[in-house]
Chain A
Amino acid sequence: MRAACWMGSTSVEVRDVPEPRILNPRDAIVRITSTAICGSDLHLYDGYMPTMEKGDILGHEFMGEVVEVGPGAASTISVGDRVVVPFTISCGACLACTRGLYSLCENSNPNAAMAEKAFGFPTAGIFGYSHLTGGYAGGQAEYARVPFADVGLLKVGPDLSDEQVLFLSDILPTGYMGAEMCDIEPGDIVAVWGAGPVGQFAMASALLLGAERVIAIDRFDYRLEMAAVRTGAEVIDYEHVDVNEALKELTGGRGPDACIDAVGMEAHHGTGAIQAYDRVKQAARLETERPHALRQAITCCRNGGVVSIIGVYGGFADKFPIGSLMNRSLTIRAGQCHVQRYMRPLLEHIEAGRLDPTFVITHRLGLEEAPGAYETFKHKQDGCMKVVLTPGA
């Protein structure tokens, strides 16, 4: 089959690889009909996520049709089912899963010892997202093996298009969880760093959860414009205004009640010296993150407010504003999305027309065009917001 493989830093090739097979009783094999490139794939593409191996199949946002089912999943999943695959691989039976903390599944990461060394305790397996998260082949391919298919797969009917449901695999639940972690109350103003697809969905979700207003912080006009048009967000271009001052002005001097970091480890900073400091340390592996967005989200948050982190980090950050966090009674909430917890309720929102995630799609390409798509997405060329790839197209 054809698959988009990571071949080293900023190198993706679509290659011929063997087709996946059922390895465990609860596996299913899915023929992929739509697959997307995630902003977090760019961390892999740029070589900032450790434990990638040359040849790894990328991709953790995908859906398709079940073509084979192991005996342990056959009571709930059948050949021919149309399914969306959550990016988190979760057993459904461990204590974490039974508490709804699916991205912390205790049984799905065969490289748990590796993850334990990096993080203190291991986290769940994730498709196509380094060997630290299990070394699972990803979904930017024609087929994928899905472990614990009885727990993971979300069945969808024929009435909704691939584009309407594809993002239930990751970015819609991730944005939603980012907003949910803010414990939004009536009158709350929520500021979101990063107006990419996850940031857009975090803003839409914050409004759905009762936020009074949302504010988008980014530097790309087309992304800020999408936030303004699609969610009615007020916008701040951090390259042209002082974010802290602008937020104070927009909130009567209080600061946003909650701040969402939808940027992660490769943030850009408007001030050259600070950008250079983190870039050099990150390149020399003295620091794994460029955490400008997170630092700013903390220092800009209202006293006693919530900082919600859904942008991906991999290791250690410098100049963490712990003084601001501690003295101002801020709450930090964070996590890889517990996707299985949100898929069904969000599908209901889509079916009822309360959420339409298709607005973020700007590029529809064939799987063979993946290498160019990564470049376009990375450099934010051609108004690129979200790339959906179709295998076999």
Chain B
Amino acid sequence: MRARSAITVNDRPDAVYSAWRDFECLPRFMDHLESVSVTGHRRSHWVAHGPVGTTVEWDAEITEDVPGERISWRSLEGASVENAGWVHFRPAPGDQGTEVHLELEYSPPGGALGSVVAKLFGEEPNQQVSDDLRRFKQILETGEIARSDGSPLGSRNRNQVHQHDAHPSPDDDQPRTTAGSGPEVRS
């Protein structure tokens, strides 16, 4: 599974790079991730959402890190889920901010784990990655993730298919958030 997308963020490349380099914040905008823990200078432990409450975990390392320009990472040898990703930051022409180009690649293993991994990105991997980048941009430019009555959890493609009515929710399932924590409650 390969997914790629690009977006332009109205900020300097070094600032956009720094936001991404803080790997523990990736789950705030990357829909398939539950958590990322930094375990060493270049190493981290990733937990992704599988179907019906399951999780998939692996360890990863940064393979390339050029401040203000690019970051690449890949799962460690022997990880149950082989995957890699890179993100490039380029100044947009005409002082229009920073272009963020993202590519993720997952190689589902065989068996039951393989079918879990295959579902991490739903039926439209590029769309999901595109929504991830939208949320990244929203956090950097506005400090929050846009949420409405119809999409109380923000721009996630799967929520857009099944909209709430556009009136305040009668349930208590709409998470309250502050600038620091972000909308981390999931449906």
Contacts and interface: CB of A to CB of B under 8 A. Distances in A.
Interface of A: 3, 5, 17-26, 51, 53-57, 71-72, 91, 93-95, 98, 106-114, 125, 128, 131, 134-138, 145, 147-148
Interface of B: 8, 10, 96-97, 127, 130-131, 134, 137-138, 141-152, 154-155, 157, 160, 163-170, 174, 176-179
A137 B141 contact: no
Contacts of A26: 142-144
Contacts of B141: 91, 93-94, 106-107
B10 A94 contact: yes
B167 A110 contact: no
Contacts of B127: 113
A22 B152 CA distance: 12
Given A95-B96, A135-B149, A136-B149, A18 B10 contact: no
B130 A113 contact: yes
B176 A23 contact: yes
B155 A18 contact: no
A131 B166 contact: yes
Contacts of A55: 165-167
B184 to A, nearest CB: 13
Contact of A71 (B96, B165, B178): B178
A110 B135 CA distance: 9
Given A26-B144, A135-B151, A113 B131 contact: yes
Main SS of chain B's interface residues? loop
Of listed A20, A24, A145, residue having the most chain B CB within 10 A: A24
A136 B157 contact: no
Contacts of A23: 147, 152, 174, 176-177
A94 B149 CA distance: 22
A93 B144 CA distance: 12
A256 to B, nearest CB: 36
B92 to A, nearest CB: 9
Given A131-B163, A135-B163, A145 B168 contact: yes
A24 B145 contact: yes
Contact of A17 (B131, B168, B174, B177): B168
A26 B143 CA distance: 9
A92 B20 CA distance: 23
Contacts of A112: 131, 134, 155
A45 to B, nearest CB: 15
Contacts of A138: 166
Given A23-B147, A131-B150, A136-B150, A107 B142 contact: yes
7 smallest A-B Cβ distances: which pairs?
Answer: A135-B150, A55-B165, A56-B166, A110-B151, A18-B168, A93-B141, A24-B144
Contacts of B137: 94, 106-107
B148 to A, nearest CB: 4
B68 to A, nearest CB: 20
Contacts of A145: 149, 168
Given A21-B168, A24-B147, 16 more contacts: A5-B167, A17-B170, A23-B152, A24-B146, A24-B177, A56-B165, A57-B149, A94-B141, A95-B96, A110-B146, A110-B150, A131-B150, A131-B163, A135-B150, A135-B151, A137-B166
A111 B155 contact: yes
Contacts of A148: 142
Contacts of A134: 146, 148, 150-151
A44 to B, nearest CB: 11
A135 B177 contact: no
B152 to A, nearest CB: 7
Given A57-B167, A95-B10, A135 B178 contact: no
Contacts of B146: 24, 91, 107-110, 125, 134, 147
11 contacts: A5-B167, A23-B176, A24-B177, A53-B150, A57-B149, A93-B142, A95-B8, A98-B10, A111-B150, A112-B134, A137-B168
A357 B172 CA distance: 41
Contacts of B176: 21-23
A72 B143 CA distance: 9
Given A23-B174, A93-B10, A107-B141, A56 B151 contact: no
A128 B168 CA distance: 12
Contacts of B150: 53, 56, 110-111, 131, 134-136
Contacts of A135: 148-151, 163-164, 166
A282 B178 CA distance: 45
A17 B166 CA distance: 11
A52 B87 CA distance: 37
Nearest to B131: A113
Contacts of B170: 17-18
Contact of B157 (A5, A108, A113): A113
B177 A56 contact: no
A21 B166 CA distance: 13
Contacts of A108: 146
A288 B155 CA distance: 26
A211 to B, nearest CB: 34
A24 B181 CA distance: 11
